[in-house]
C-alpha cells in the first residue's frame, strides 16, 4: 500500500497507513468531495477503514475528502506543476508515476471555440491503476501471426475488459520475439500515457526491448513521426478515434507496417455500425479482430475473427 | 616601539572589520543576483520545455553546483528529489531553502519573498505560471539592483567609520 499512499500528499496519508492492498487486486480509487473513498478491487467495491485499518464493505469509517483535499491531491499528483499537465487536464486526466491515470471531473472552463480550456473546482478523481499481465497474450499468439508475420490486429471491448493490458502484452511479445517469430521494432504512440505508463519519459511497463515510445503524443501525427524516423515493423495505438487516426492507420499499413490498435465496442455488430471505420473495413486493414469479454474478474477473447469477419475461434482465455 | 605596534594592530583590526562588513554586503548582492537568475531560469524552462518543477529544480541544482554554489545546488537537488518521492513542495521548500537563506546574507524581506515561492505554483496554464515565477526574478533583481546601488556608498561609509574608530581607539590607547 505504500506506493498507493504515495499518491496522496503526506498530510493525507494517515488513513491509508493500516490499509494493505495488493496492486494486482486494485483497479480504481474513487475520490469524491464529501463522499467516502471507494476502492474498486478485483472482487468488487471496498472502503478503506480509517479507524480499524484494512478494508470494509461498509462506508462508515471511510475517509471523506474535502474539496480542498482533492485540490491538494491534484497539485501533488502533478508534482506541483499543473502547467505541465495543461494538455492532459484539458482532456480530463492526469498521468501520475507508476502507470496511474487520474480521471478528473469538476467545473469545466470553456475555451473560446467551445472546446475545454481546463477543469477547476475538482469534485471527483478516479485514480485508475494500470496493470501489467505478462503472458496475457500468450494463448492468442498463434492467431495473431500468419507465416511468421504479425497481423494487423484490432482489439475490441467495452471499457474495463483488458484491452490495454492485452495490447501491452502483444507489444512486448512482438518486440522481444516469441515462439512464432523473431522480435520486430514496435513503435508505440501513447497518447494518454496508459500503454507504457511513461513518467518523465521512462516507461513503467515492460513493452519489450525493441519498442520505441512516443509519449503523450496525438495518434495521427505520432504514427507519421514513427514511420518517418524509427522504421517500425509494427505500430501500436490505444483507442482509435476519428478520421485523422484512420487515415494514419491506412498510411502505416500501406507502408508495410502491422498496426495493433484497440477500440471501444461491445460487439462485432457495434463495430460494423461505426461509420468512421468504413475505410478500414473496405481495405480490410485489420487482419485479426479480437472481441474481449470479462467474466468473474477474468477477461478472455470471446471472438477472434479474420479480416473478412469470419469467426476463427471463440472463448480463448487471456 | 610597542605602542606603534599596538597602534598598527588596532588600525588593522578596524580595517579588517570594515572589510568584513563590506564583503558580507557584496555576498548579499551576489546571492540576490544568483537567486534572481535562478527564478529567471525556472520561468524559462516552464515556458520552453513545460518540464515539471522537480525536473527543473534537479537540473538547476546540478548547474548551480557546477557554478560553485554547492549550498544552493544541493538544496535544489534535494527539493527535486523530495518531490519525486512524494514530498510536499511547501514543506520541502521551507526546510531546504530556509536553511540556505539562513546561511546567507539575505535580509528579512528577501528571505520572506524567497520562502513564499511555493504559494505561486498552482497555475494551470504555462503562461500564467511563467509570469508568476518571473515576478520572483524581477523582485529579487530589484532588491539586488538597489543593494548594488547602495553598496559603494555604504562600503565607503563603513570603511570611513571603521578606520576613524580605529584611529580614535589608537589615540585613546596611546
Q: What is the pLDDT of residue A60?
A: 87
Whether A202 contacts chain B with CB within 8 A: no
- The partner residues of A262 in beta bridges, in order of sequence, read A155
Which one, of A207, A216, A126, lies nearest residue A173 by Cα? A207
Q: What is the pLDDT of residue B56?
A: 95
Nearest CA in chain A to B88: A9
Cβ contact (<8 Å) for B54 and A84?
no
Whether B120 contacts chain A with CB within 8 A: no
Contacts of B139 (CB under 8 A, 6+ apart): B113
CA atoms within 13 A on the CB side of B3: 5
Share of chain A above pLDDT 90, in %: 50
Mean pLDDT of chain A: 89
For testing the chain A interface, which of B59, B89, B124, B133 should be mutated: the one with the most A CBs within 10 Å? B124
A127-131, B21-25, B96-100: which range is least confident on average? Answer: B21-25
Give the global pTM.
0.73
Question: What's the whole-number mean pLDDT along residues A81-107?
Answer: 87
- Judged against a pLDDT cut of 60, whether residue A1 lies above it is answered with no
Q: How many residues does chain B have?
A: 174
- A-B contacts (CB, under 8 Å): 61
Tell me: the pLDDT tens digits for A251-266? 999 999 999 999 999 8
Q: What is the pLDDT of residue A129?
A: 86
Helix (H) or strand (E) holding B110: helix B108-115
Q: What is the pLDDT of residue A3?
A: 64
Whether A308 contacts chain B with CB within 8 A: no
B130: phi then psi, degrees, rounded to nearest 5: -60, -45
Q: Residue A173: pLDDT band by 50, 70, 90 thresholds?
A: very high
Residue A249 C-alpha, separation from nearest chain B C-alpha, in angstroms: 29
Residue A236 C-alpha, separation from nearest chain B C-alpha, in angstroms: 26
Question: What's the whole-number mean pLDDT along residues A271-277?
Answer: 84
Cβ contact (<8 Å) for B124 and A120?
yes
Whether B53 contacts chain A with CB within 8 A: yes
Q: Residue A248: pLDDT band by 50, 70, 90 thresholds?
A: very high
Whether B83 contacts chain A with CB within 8 A: yes
State how far the Cα of A313 lies from the Cα of B10, in Å rounded to an integer. Answer: 101
For testing the chain B interface, which of A80, A91, A107, A127 should be mutated: the one with the most B CBs within 10 Å? A80
Torsion of CA A61, A67, A73, A74, to 10 degrees: 150
State how far the Cα of A120 lies from the Cα of A278, in Å rounded to an integer. Answer: 38
Question: What's the whole-number mean pLDDT along residues A206-213?
Answer: 95
Of B50, B53, B91, the CB nearest to A79: B53
Nearest CA in chain A to B50: A84
Q: What is the pLDDT of residue A272?
A: 83
CA distances (Å), A95 to each of A87, A98, A130, A213, in order? 11, 9, 11, 15
Whether B58 contacts chain A with CB within 8 A: no
Q: What is the pLDDT of residue A54?
A: 82
Q: Residue A16: pLDDT band by 50, 70, 90 thresholds?
A: confident
Of B46, B91, B122, the CB nearest to A75: B122
Select the highest-mean-pLDDT range: A195-199, A227-231, A265-269, B12-16: A227-231
- Judged against a pLDDT cut of 90, whether residue A122 lies above it is answered with yes
Give burial (CB, 10 Å; 0-12/13-18/19+) of A215.
Answer: buried
Cβ contact (<8 Å) for A80 and B123?
no
Residue B169 C-alpha, separation from nearest chain A C-alpha, in angstroms: 57
Nearest CA in chain A to B81: A79
Tell me: the pLDDT tens digits for B119-133? 999 888 899 999 999
- For A179-214, letters b (16+ CB in 10 Å) and e give ebbebbbbbbbbbbbbbbbbbeeebbbbbbebbbbb
DSSP state string for A161-185: SSHHHHHHHHHHHHHH--SSS----
A186: phi then psi, degrees, rounded to nearest 5: -115, 125
For testing the chain B interface, which of A79, A85, A100 should be mutated: the one with the most B CBs within 10 Å? A79
Q: What are the residue ranges of helices labelled H in chain A? A: 2-5, 67-77, 86-90, 141-144, 163-176, 219-229, 243-254, 268-272, 278-282
Residue A66 C-alpha, separation from nearest chain B C-alpha, in angstroms: 18
Whether A89 contacts chain B with CB within 8 A: yes
Which one, of A71, A56, A267, A43, lies nearest residue A156 by Cα? A267
Whether A76 contacts chain B with CB within 8 A: yes
Q: What is the pLDDT of residue B76?
A: 96
Cβ contact (<8 Å) for A80 and B124?
no
Q: Residue A106: pLDDT band by 50, 70, 90 thresholds?
A: very high
Residue A64 C-alpha cell reads as: 471523506
C-beta of residue B28 within 8 angstroms of C-beta of residue B145: no
Amino acid at each position: 500500500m505504500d506506493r498507493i499512499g504515495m499518491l496522496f500528499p503526506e498530510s493525507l496519508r494517515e488513513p491509508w497507513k493500516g490499509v494493505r492492498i495488493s496492486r494486482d487486486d486494485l483497479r480504481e480509487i474513487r475520490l469524491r468531495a464529501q463522499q467516502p473513498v471507494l476502492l474498486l478491487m478485483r472482487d468488487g467495491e471496498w472502503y478503506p477503514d480509517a479507524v480499524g485499518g484494512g478494508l470494509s464493505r461498509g462506508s462508515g469509517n471511510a475517509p471523506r475528502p474535502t474539496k480542498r483535499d482533492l485540490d491538494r491531491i491534484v497539485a501533488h499528483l502533478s508534482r506541483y506543476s499543473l502547467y505541465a499537465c495543461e494538455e492532459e487536464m484539458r482532456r480530463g486526466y492526469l498521468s501520475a508515476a507508476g502507470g496511474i491515470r487520474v480521471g478528473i471531473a469538476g467545473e469545466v472552463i470553456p475555451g473560446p471555440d467551445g472546446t475545454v480550456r481546463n477543469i477547476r473546482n475538482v469534485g471527483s478523481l478516479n485514480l485508475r491503476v494500470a496493470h501489467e499481465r505478462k503472458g496475457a497474450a500468450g494463448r492468442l499468439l498463434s492467431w495473431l501471426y500468419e507465416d511468421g508475420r504479425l497481423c494487423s490486429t484490432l482489439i475490441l471491448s467495452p471499457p474495463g475488459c483488458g484491452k490495454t493490458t492485452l495490447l501491452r502484452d502483444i507489444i512486448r511479445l512482438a518486440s522481444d520475439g516469441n515462439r512464432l517469430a523473431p522480435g520486430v521494432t514496435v513503435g508505440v504512440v501513447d497518447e494518454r500515457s496508459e500503454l507504457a505508463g511513461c513518467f518523465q519519459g521512462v516507461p513503467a511497463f515492460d513493452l519489450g526491448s525493441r519498442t520505441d515510445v512516443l509519449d503523450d503524443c496525438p495518434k495521427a501525427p505520432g504514427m507519421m513521426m514513427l514511420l518517418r524516423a524509427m522504421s517500425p515493423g509494427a505500430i501500436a495505438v490505444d483507442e482509435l478515434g476519428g478520421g485523422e487516426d484512420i487515415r494514419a492507420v491506412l498510411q502505416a499499413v500501406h507502408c508495410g507496417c502491422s498496426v495493433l490498435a484497440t477500440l471501444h465496442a461491445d460487439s462485432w455488430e457495434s463495430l460494423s455500425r461505426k461509420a468512421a471505420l468504413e475505410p478500414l473495413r473496405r481495405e480490410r486493414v485489420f487482419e485479426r479482430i479480437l472481441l474481449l469479454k470479462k467474466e468473474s474478474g477474468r477477461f478472455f477473447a470471446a471472438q477472434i475473427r479474420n479480416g473478412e469477419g469470419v469467426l476463427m475461434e471463440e472463448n480463448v482465455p487471456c | 616601539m610597542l605602542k606603534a605596534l599596538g597602534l598598527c594592530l588596532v588600525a588593522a583590526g578596524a580595517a579588517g572589520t570594515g572589510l568584513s562588513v563590506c564583503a558580507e554586503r557584496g555576498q548579499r548582492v551576489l546571492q540576490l543576483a544568483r537567486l534572481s537568475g535562478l527564478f529567471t531560469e525556472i520561468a524559462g524552462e516552464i515556458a520552453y520545455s513545460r518540464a515539471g518543477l522537480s525536473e527543473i529544480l534537479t537540473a538547476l541544482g546540478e548547474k548551480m553546483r557546477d557554478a560553485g554554489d554547492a549550498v544552493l545546488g544541493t538544496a535544489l537537488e534535494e527539493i527535486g528529489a523530495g518531490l519525486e518521492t512524494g514530498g510536499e513542495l511547501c514543506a520541502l521548500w521551507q526546510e531546504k531553502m530556509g536553511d540556505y537563506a539562513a546561511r546567507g546574507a539575505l535580509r528579512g524581506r528577501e528571505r520572506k519573498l524567497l520562502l513564499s515561492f511555493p504559494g505561486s505554483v498552482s497555475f494551470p496554464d504555462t503562461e500564467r505560471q511563467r509570469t508568476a515565477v518571473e515576478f520572483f526574478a524581477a523582485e529579487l533583481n530589484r532588491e539586488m539592483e538597489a543593494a548594488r546601488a547602495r553598496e559603494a556608498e555604504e562600503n565607503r561609509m563603513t570603511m570611513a567609520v571603521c578606520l576613524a574608530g580605529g584611529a580614535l581607539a589608537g589615540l585613546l590607547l596611546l
